């Protein structure tokens, strides 16, 4: 069985590669796609504050299209974008101390009234797209889900099962202490990732030039050694 851990920021592929480079945990579509390649049954363990909604959408799609059985275990928190990924499970288990949080999409914008109106329409479209995943799993209608998202609804394990976000509560045969969680922002901005990509490109170009120069120097040294050997013969 292939195990996929969703226990960090959910980010796009470029940001995910940056996280890998600096040694931070991240969940991104490319990593999930690699794990799914050739996999049969899949187990997805979730404890995440969420992250990039489009990256989560791609991961949700990858899991939903997977031919093998997908089992989701909500172990701590499935919040925001992470809750979308959780909906891809053929079976969704939730720990008795875990929670699911759903809310409307948000962003930071600037500009005039027309810009703000456009941003509002954009966010409403994202909300509607997110609800499609919730509807497919829970069977709830969009009006009820929209109200829940507008209020930023936190669901306990039993509530998650009652609403259809999970299929059952895990039974460990003993009590468990609840776990506190906090919602945070991705730790790296897109601007930082873009600067990193440029820096890496410059570094690669430098290494290539350095290698070319080293090869040229080695060739010159080789020719000098060959000439020295020829000189010894005459």
Does pLDDT of 228 surpass 90? Answer: no
Give per-residue pLDDT as tens, 38-96.
Answer: 999 999 999 999 999 999 999 999 999 999 999 999 999 999 999 999 999 999 999 99
Please tell me the predicted confidence (pLDDT) of residue 232.
Answer: 58
Return d(Cα 59, Cα 77) in angstroms, integer: 17
Please report, for the chain, the start and end positions of each structural domain, with discontinuous segments joined by +: 2-183, 189-234
H or E stretch at 134: helix 113-138
Sign of CA dihedral 7, 137, 14, 34: positive
Regarding beta strands 99-102 and 70-79, do their DSSP bridges make them parallel or antiparallel, or are they unpaired? parallel
Architecture field, domain 2-183: Alpha-Beta Complex (3.90)
HSE, CB side, 13 Å, CA atoms: give it for residue 226: 6
Contacts of 171 (CB under 8 A, 6+ apart): none
Please tell me the predicted confidence (pLDDT) of residue 184.
Answer: 58
Return d(Cα 168, Cα 93) in angstroms, integer: 5
Please tell me the predicted confidence (pLDDT) of residue 201.
Answer: 86
């Amino acid at each position: 069985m292939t195990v996929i851990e969703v226990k960090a920021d959910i980010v796009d592929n470029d940001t995910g590669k940056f996280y890998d480079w600096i040694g931070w945990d991240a969940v991104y579509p490319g990593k999930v796609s690699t794990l799914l390649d050739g996999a049969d049954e899949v187990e997805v363990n979730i404890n995440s504050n969420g992250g990039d909604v489009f990256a989560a959408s791609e991961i949700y799609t990858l899991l939903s299209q997977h031919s093998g059985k997908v089992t989701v275990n909500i172990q701590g928190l499935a919040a925001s974008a992470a809750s979308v990924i959780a909906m891809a499970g053929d079976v969704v288990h939730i720990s008795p101390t875990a929670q699911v949080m759903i809310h409307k999409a948000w962003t930071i914008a600037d500009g005039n009234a027309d810009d703000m109106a456009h941003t509002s329409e954009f966010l409403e479209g994202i909300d509607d797209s997110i609800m499609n995943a919730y509807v497919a799993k829970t069977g709830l209608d969009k009006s009820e889900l929209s109200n829940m998202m507008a209020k930023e609804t936190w669901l306990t394990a039993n509530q998650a099962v009652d609403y259809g976000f999970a299929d059952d509560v895990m039974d460990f045969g003993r009590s468990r202490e609840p776990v506190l969680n906090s919602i945070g922002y991705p730790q790296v901005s897109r601007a930082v990732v873009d600067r990193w990509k440029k820096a890496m490109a410059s570094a690669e170009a430098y290494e290539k030039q350095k290698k070319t120069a080293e090869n040229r120097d080695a060739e010159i040294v080789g020719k000098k050694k060959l000439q020295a050997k020829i000189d010894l013969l005459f």
